[in-house]
Amino acid sequence: MCRAIAADPALVRRYTWTDRLVAVVSDGTAVLGLGDIGPRASLPVMEGKSALFKQFGGLDSIPLVLDTTDVDEIVETLVRLRPSFGAVNLEDVSAPRCFELERRLVEALDCPVMHDDQHGTAVVLLAALHGACAATGRDLPALRVVVSGAGAAGIACARFLVAAGVRDVVVLDSRGVVDADRGGEKALPAAQTNPRGVRGGLAEALAGADVFVGLSSAQLPEGLLATMAPGPFVFALSNPDPEVHPDVAARYASVVSTGRSDFPHQINDVLAFPGVFAGALDAGARRITEGMKLAAAEAIAAVAADGGAVSVDRIVPSPFDPRVGPAVAAAVAQAARRDPQVSAGR
C-alpha cells in the first residue's frame, strides 16, 4: 500500500483512514461554561466531541489541543498536519480570534473546515425556527428576531438567519444594540439587517419582537417578555443557566427552547455537525458553504416534520433519532455536488 500511495497519492483515500478522519481542534480558550481553561483541561471536551462524531456520524476523529493562541501558529500547525486528516472541526476557540482563524484555515487547507460553536448552533437554530413556524403558522422571513449576544455563536446565527431570508435581525452585546459603527465582526450583521434602525438596549429591541435568541449570560427580565409580539418564540440557549427559566418564558411564549437536555426543545449541535461533516466528506467537498449549511437545517426540520409530527411541543427531532445524521449527510452531500466550486473532483 505504501508503494501504491507513493506512486498515486490519491490512493491515500482508499487505503488509509484520512478520508473519514476529522481533527477536533481547540486551544481551550472558550470551553462551554468554563471559559479559558487552556488546552490540557479542555481535552476531555474534545474527546467527548470525537465520541459524538463516531456515534452520530460514523466518522473517526482525533482531538488535537494546541498550546498556543497565536492564529499564525495554529494555521501553520494544521497545514503541516494536513496529510493526516480529512477535515477540521474547530472547537471552543474564543472570539474574535475564531473568525480570523476559521477564515485563514479555509484559505490554507483543501478540506472542509468548520467552527462548530458558530455554525452548528446556527444550523440547529434555523431548523428550530422552521419547526416553530410550521407549528404556529408563521412565515420565517417576516419574523422580527432579537439575538442577545454578539460572540461567535451570536454573530454566526445572525448572519445565517439573514442568509436564510429573515429580514429583521437585531443583535445586542453588553453595550446594547450593535450598529454598523462598531467595526469588526460585530458590524457585519448590523450592516446587513436591522431595517428599522433599532437603537438602545434589550427593552428597545424586544418591543414587538417575535423571537428572542439568547446566546450570552445576560438575563431576560420577565417584564420584557410581555412587551414582545403575542405568542413569541423564546430560545434561551445559554448554558448552564438559560437567560430566563423556561417555566417563566412559557407564560408568554408559544414555543420555548433552551440549550439544556433537561428542558424541552434542546438546541443541540449534535443534530448538525456529524451529518454536516459526513456529507461534506461523502461529496469530496473542499469547503462547507452556506448552501450546505442551509440544506442541513432544512433536513433537520424535515425529520421533525415527518409524518406531521411537528408541533409546539416538538419543533426539532431528538438528538437520538437515528434518522437525523443520515438525512443531514445526504442533504449536505447533495448541496455540495450541486456546487462545482466545493468539489474535490473525486
3-state SS of 289-309?
CHHHHHHHHHHHHHHHHHHHC
* Whether the Cβ atoms of residue 275 and residue 293 lie closer than 8 Å to each other: no
Question: Last residue of some domain: 111, 141, 176?
Answer: 111
| pLDDT one-digit tens code per residue, 134-146 | 999 999 999 999 9
* Cα–chain center distance at 98: 13
In the block, residue with C-alpha cell 493562541:
69
Q: Are residues 100 and 157 both part of a single domain?
A: no
d(CA 153, CA 269): 11
If one counts the domains in the chain, the total is: 2
State CA 220 to chain mean position distance.
22
* Per-residue pLDDT at 75 exceeds 80: yes
Give me the helix-helix angle, 324-337 and 38-57, nearest 10°.
90
Determine the pLDDT at residue 98. 95
Looking at the structure, tell me whether residues 237 and 286 fall in a common domain.
Answer: yes
The most distant pair of C-alpha atoms in the chain lies apart, rounded to whole Å, by 70
Residue 345's pLDDT is 43
Same domain, 80 and 158: no
CATH number for position 346: 3.40.50.720
Of 111, 144, 173, which residue constitutes the final position of a domain?
A: 111
Statement to judge: residues 87 and 137 lie in one domain: no
54 a catalytic residue? no
Residues facing residue 314 across a β-bridge: 311
Distance CA 262, CA 253 (A): 19
Question: Within its chain, how far is the Cα of 91 from the centroid?
Answer: 11
Cβ 308 vs Cβ 337: under 8 Å = no
Note the Cα 255 to chain centre separation in Å: 20
177 and 326 share a domain? Answer: yes
Q: Determine the pLDDT at residue 346.
A: 42
Kindly report the CATH number assigned to the domain that includes residue 74.
3.40.50.10380
Averaged pLDDT of the chain: 92
**Which of 95, 111, 127 marks a domain boundary?**
111
Tens of pLDDT, residue by residue over 148-202, are 998 899 999 999 999 999 999 999 998 899 887 776 676 666 667 788 888 899 9
Can you read off the three cell numbers belonging to residue 162? 439573514
pLDDT at residue 32 greater than cutoff 50: yes
Question: Using one digit for the tens of pLDDT, what is the confidence trace for 81-108?
Answer: 999 999 999 999 999 999 999 999 999 9
Domain that holds residue 92: 1-111
Shared-domain flag, residues 202 and 232:
yes
Predicted model pTM: 0.93
**Residue 341 pLDDT more than 80?**
no
On whether both 196 and 294 belong to a single domain, the answer is yes
Grid coordinates 408541533 are at which residue? 311
Same domain, 327 and 198: yes
- One domain, residues 103 and 129: no
Taking residues 228-240, report their average pLDDT. 94
Copy the grid coordinates of residue 199: 437603537
Whether 60 and 142 map to the same domain: the answer is: no
Quick one: which H or E segment has residue 171?
strand 168-173
Nearest to 283 by CA among 331, 213, 250: 331
Same structural domain, 208 and 284: yes
Of the candidates 96, 97, 98, 64, the residue with the CA atom closest to the CA atom of residue 82: 64
